């Protein structure tokens, strides 16, 4: 693999009301607002030295514009463009200055139809890690991962490993040996992206890293006190997969956000992916309680990089294997 993809780096989400989004993300969850204008909010975590990791863009309808990955150098962008072009994928270039705070950017659609972008340069800003006077809400530290709902997880699994150089940390399979879900990484933690089987392509959630599990508990109290109790969809709890402590929220437009802490190191070259049976209730929630139906059925529409229209969706290849749990 001649391309060095470093990590997941930013998401661009369409929202219908910037003020409602600001109250949720900045006032309640504690994101840092780096910049804003009439149509954008640029947000980051306390630990992040880059301009933003989340862009909220005003639009008539909620949607996902792109999921962004940082690469090591500008030359990696040219190599990625060549790889995608050779395989018959359309590529789109956004030159430096076309996007706020970003250098030259490559946009593509992946094998599942998810809109991706790759960049090596983003404007630096002051890191707020030790500005404890600014810690509020969930005390969000940094972006951690994307979770994508796709109709063929095995195809995505193969593409990201064989073409983009990702490694697998954990996976779920069916009794027949089909991969239902997979957790893949470039940085040395459990995942930068996960794929789960279902109607797609859609974005299931964006995960953000918190300093400790108590930050999740505190976030629940803040959300409830501000009238956002109904926005808590699932948790708090601990995943079996990844071992992480989690909380799933729905923002004012329905985008799903995960607050996340406590996974583990995956850097050793002899690390072997961990297998989970699809009907093991501890894989999703170590304590055994099931996820709500909305967690399996609802996700955000993604947009084509060229037409900016919603990407056509297909049903999950393994729909007949929706997990069953005995609690």
pLDDT in tens, 207-233: 999 999 999 999 999 999 999 999 999
pLDDT in tens, 166-207: 999 999 998 888 999 999 999 999 999 999 999 999 999 999
Q: Find where tokens 């583990």 sit.
A: 264
Please say if the pLDDT value at position 71 is more than 50. Answer: yes
pLDDT in tens, 118-135: 999 999 999 999 999 999
Contact 187, 169 (CB under 8 A): no
- What would the mean pLDDT of 37-60 be, rounded to a whole number? 98
Q: Is the preceding peptide bond at 201 cis, omega within 30 degrees of 0?
A: yes
Q: Could you check whether 5-119 and 137-303 share the same CATH topology?
A: yes
Please say if the pLDDT value at position 38 is more than 50. Answer: yes
- What would the mean pLDDT of 311-318 be, rounded to a whole number? 86
Pairing relationship of beta strands 115-119 and 63-71 according to DSSP bridges? parallel
What CATH architecture applies to the domain 137-303? Answer: Roll (3.10)
Residue 98 has a pLDDT of 82
Residue 1 has a pLDDT of 58
Residue 326 has a pLDDT of 30
- Secondary-structure percent of the chain, ordered helix, strand, coil, rounded to 5: 20, 35, 45
Residue 320 has a pLDDT of 47
- What would the mean pLDDT of 74-103 be, rounded to a whole number? 95
Please say if the pLDDT value at position 115 is more than 80. Answer: yes
**Topology (CATH level 3) of domain 5-119:** 2,3-Dihydroxybiphenyl 1,2-Dioxygenase; domain 1 (3.10.180)
E strands within the chain?
5-15, 32-36, 40-44, 54-58, 63-71, 91-94, 105-109, 115-119, 142-150, 167-173, 179-185, 193-197, 202-209, 232-238, 245-250, 256-261, 274-277, 300-301
Q: How far is 6 from 191, CA to CA, in rounded Å?
A: 12
Q: How far is 291 from 288, CA to CA, in rounded Å?
A: 10
- What would the mean pLDDT of 69-87 be, rounded to a whole number? 97
CA angle 185–49–207, rounded 5-degree value: 40
What is the value of pTM for the model shown? 0.95
Q: How far is 34 from 120, CA to CA, in rounded Å?
A: 19
Contact 141, 47 (CB under 8 A): yes
Count the neighbouring beta carbons within 10 Å of the beta carbon of residue 132: 9
Count the neighbouring beta carbons within 10 Å of the beta carbon of residue 322: 14
Count the neighbouring beta carbons within 10 Å of the beta carbon of residue 56: 27
DSSP for residue 124: B
How do the domains of the chain map onto residue ranges?
A: 5-119, 137-303
Count the neighbouring beta carbons within 10 Å of the beta carbon of residue 296: 18
277-290 as b/e: b if 16+ CB within 10 A: ebeebebbbbeeeb
Confidence of residue 327 (pLDDT cuts 50, 70, 90): very low
- What would the mean pLDDT of 83-104 be, rounded to a whole number? 94
DSSP for residue 272: -
Which token pair is 11? 């998401």
Please say if the pLDDT value at position 80 is more than 50. Answer: yes
pLDDT in tens, 232-280: 999 999 998 899 999 999 999 999 999 999 999 999 999 999 999 988 8
Residue 319 has a pLDDT of 56
Please say if the pLDDT value at position 321 is more than 80. Answer: no
Q: How far is 111 from 133, CA to CA, in rounded Å?
A: 44
Please tell me the total number of residues recorded for the chain in this structure: 327
Phi, then psi, of 248 in degrees rounded to 5: -105, 130
Instruction: Mark residue 295 as left, alpha or beta (left: phi above 0; alpha: psi -120 to 50; beta: remaining).
Output: alpha
Distance (Å) of CA 56 to CA 34, 36, 263, 269: 12, 9, 27, 37
Residue 323 has a pLDDT of 47
Please say if the pLDDT value at position 324 is more than 70. Answer: no
Count the neighbouring beta carbons within 10 Å of the beta carbon of residue 318: 21
Q: How far is 313 from 315, CA to CA, in rounded Å?
A: 7
In three-state secondary structure terms, 218 is helix
Of residues 99 and 125, more confidence is placed in: 125
Which token pair is 234? 């699932």
Contact 46, 34 (CB under 8 A): no
């Amino acid at each position: 693999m001649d391309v060095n993809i470093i990590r997941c780096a930013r998401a661009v989400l369409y929202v219908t009301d910037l003020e409602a989004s600001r109250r949720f993300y900045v006032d309640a969850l504690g994101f840092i607002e780096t910049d804003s204008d009439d149509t954008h909010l640029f947000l980051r975590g306390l630990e992040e030295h880059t301009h933003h990791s989340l862009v909220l863009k005003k639009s008539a309808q909620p949607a996902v514009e792109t999921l962004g990955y940082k690469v090591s150098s500008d030359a990696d962008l040219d190599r990625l463009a060549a790889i995608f072009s050779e395989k018959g994928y359309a590529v789109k270039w956004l030159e430096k200055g076309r996007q706020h705070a970003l250098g030259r950017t490559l946009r593509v659609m992946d094998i599942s139809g998810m809109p991706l972008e790759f960049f090596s340069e983003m404007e630096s800003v002051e890191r707020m890690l030790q500005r404890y006077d600014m810690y509020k809400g969930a005390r969000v530290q940094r972006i951690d991962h994307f979770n994508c709902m796709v109709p063929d997880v095995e195809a995505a699994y193969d593409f990201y490993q064989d073409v983009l150089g990702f490694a697998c940390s954990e996976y779920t399979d069916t009794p027949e040996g089909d991969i239902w879900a997979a957790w893949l990484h470039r940085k040395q933690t459990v995942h930068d992206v996960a794929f789960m089987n279902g109607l797609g392509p859609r974005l299931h959630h964006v995960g953000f890293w918190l300093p400790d599990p108590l930050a999740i508990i505190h976030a629940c109290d803040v959300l409830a006190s501000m009238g956002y109790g109904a926005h808590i969809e699932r948790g708090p709890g601990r995943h079996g997969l990844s071992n992480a402590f989690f909380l799933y929220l729905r923002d004012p437009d329905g985008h799903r956000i995960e607050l996340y802490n406590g996974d583990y190191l995956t850097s050793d070259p002899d690390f072997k992916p961990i297998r989970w049976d699809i009907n093991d209730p501890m894989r999703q929630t170590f304590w055994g309680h099931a996820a709500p139906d909305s967690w399996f059925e609802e996700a955000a529409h993604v947009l084509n990089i060229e037409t900016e229209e919603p990407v056509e969706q297909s049903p999950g290849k393994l729909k007949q294997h929706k997990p069953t749990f005995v609690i």
